[in-house]
Amino acid sequence: MTMTMNRLIPDVFRNPAIRVSMIAIFTFGFAGATTSPYRSVVGIVELGLSNAVYSALIFAAAAVNVIVSILFGNLADRLGEYRTMMLVAATFGIAGYGAVYFFPTREIFVLSALLLLPVYGSLNSLLFANVRAAAREMAPDEVATVNSGTRAMISLSWVLVPGLTGVLLSSSPSMLPAYLFACLSCLLCVGLVGFLLPRQDGTDSAATHHLSYLAALGQVISPRIFSRVMAVALISSMLHINDAIFPLVVTGAARGTVADIGILVGIVALLEVVFIIVWSRLLRFIGQLAALALGALVYGIYLLLLASADQPWHVYALTLVSGIGAASLISIPITYLQDLIAERPGLGSALISVNIFLSAGLSALLFAAGTAITSYSGTAVVGAFSGLAGMAWLLLLDRSRGLP
């Protein structure tokens, strides 16, 4: 039995730093999965924020997260170890979620969402930076496998957690206990990083040339890097477009119910976990840029098919296509972005947060433009062509060096 299990678990996951980081990122995903679906309910319905204030708050929080991710990533590179900054970020999560639960006022919610939780959000890129540093001596295909496995842990947390949270709080007069669950998850994360993550020798792994914060920001926005980040953001925007229109198409053109939305999201999340593993194996044969191009094509086709869905079974049938494409778009860009600043794992991993911010912003613009000129289904078509244009741009940028 032991020998069989050993064969099923790749050697790259036997590294203690990678194993602990994967469990820690599951707790990170758990905190988001238990609160994100209900954040607007708490902020707007329970605490009385206006729609305009809530929208501005979420946008500003995303911007703060990008700035902090670059700052923390650069600081961690200079220290040569990521454990310290991860502990700081996770502690902000305890404070941010805990404050909302124990002191549920509009002022505390705004403070938490604008300052405390964006700092906690930088833990995502720091964990990937730590994994990248631990995989420094591994072959490129093994690095991709590690990143894919780590990203799969976030999807795994989304398979059941949102639904379970909803069930547990279905008879509760408030959704605030979701923030308590998230706070406890952050506390567990601090314990994992503080007590189980192997200590690193900063003198051995510190970046050779220290960058000031402004110099680090300058490197991120340099034409060579930022053009590729923008192309990846266009590709990733397809995921955000789908997040916005999917519930509206399901309950509108496809004539489904709210219950269908929850079931479909769970199915896709489970398929993502499976196909992230499949894509990591495929990367050994076709390279990350080719795999990303194929995944973007699959997801673009999914959005085009979603645009024509007019029965509930149509959307259920598309979960397989959605899972295959989404698994590629949420896992492969991680390694691609890290490779853009390969010598600095912290700063390179901060590009993950930059990509999330830009792709969300682009999707908001595309959603506004699409819904202004066509229906929700038509907006899916707009999203598909925008993502495919981003893939063509990325291939054009990298044509001189071939498919990595």
Do 147 and 280 share a domain, yes or no?
Answer: no
pTM above 0.85, yes or no: no
Same domain, 110 and 232: no
DSSP letter, residue 311: S
Clarify whether residues 276 and 182 are in a common domain.
Answer: no
In a domain, 404, yes or no: no
244 lies in the same domain as 142? no
Alpha-carbon distances of 22 from 120, 147, 153, 272, rounded to whole Å: 17, 9, 7, 16
What would the two tokens of residue 304 be? 């085009």
Indicate if 244 and 196 belong to the same structural domain: no
Query: Are 258 and 303 found together in one domain?
Result: yes
Asked which of 174, 203, 232 is the last residue of a domain, the reply is 203
Residues 19 and 157 in one domain: yes
Amino acid symbol at 128: F
CA angle 97, 244, 46 (to 5 degrees): 40
Q: Provide the residue-wise pLDDT of the chain in tens; the chain has 404 residues.
A: 444 444 445 555 678 888 999 999 999 999 998 988 788 888 988 999 888 888 788 888 989 999 999 999 989 988 888 999 999 999 999 999 999 999 999 999 999 999 999 999 999 999 999 998 888 888 887 888 888 888 889 888 888 788 788 888 878 888 999 999 999 999 999 999 999 998 766 544 555 456 667 777 788 888 989 999 999 999 999 998 898 888 888 888 898 886 787 788 888 988 998 999 899 889 888 888 999 999 999 999 999 999 999 999 999 999 999 999 999 999 999 889 999 988 888 888 899 999 989 998 898 888 888 888 988 899 999 999 999 999 999 999 987 554 44
The domain in which residue 300 lies consists of: 218-399
Are 48 and 190 in a shared domain?
A: yes
User: H/E element holding 243?
Assistant: helix 223-251
* CATH number of the structural domain spanning residue 67: 1.20.1250.20
Residues 188 and 260 grouped into a single domain:
no
Residue by residue, DSSP assigns 278-306 as HHHHHHHHH-HHHHHHHHHHHHHHHHHHH
Q: Which of 143, 175, 203 is the last residue of a domain?
A: 203
| Same domain, residue pair 244 and 347 | yes
Residues 319 and 227 in one domain: yes
Q: Are residues 134 and 74 in the same domain?
A: yes
In a domain, 5, yes or no: no
Backbone angles phi, psi at 361, to 5 degrees: -65, -45
Total domains in the fold of the chain: 2
- Phi, psi values for residue 399, rounded to 5°: -65, -30
Give the residue carrying structure tokens 């999203």.
383
Closest CA to 197 of 338, 346, 22, 31: 22
* 4 within some domain: no
Runs of H (alpha helix) within 36-111: 39-40, 51-79, 83-102, 106-111
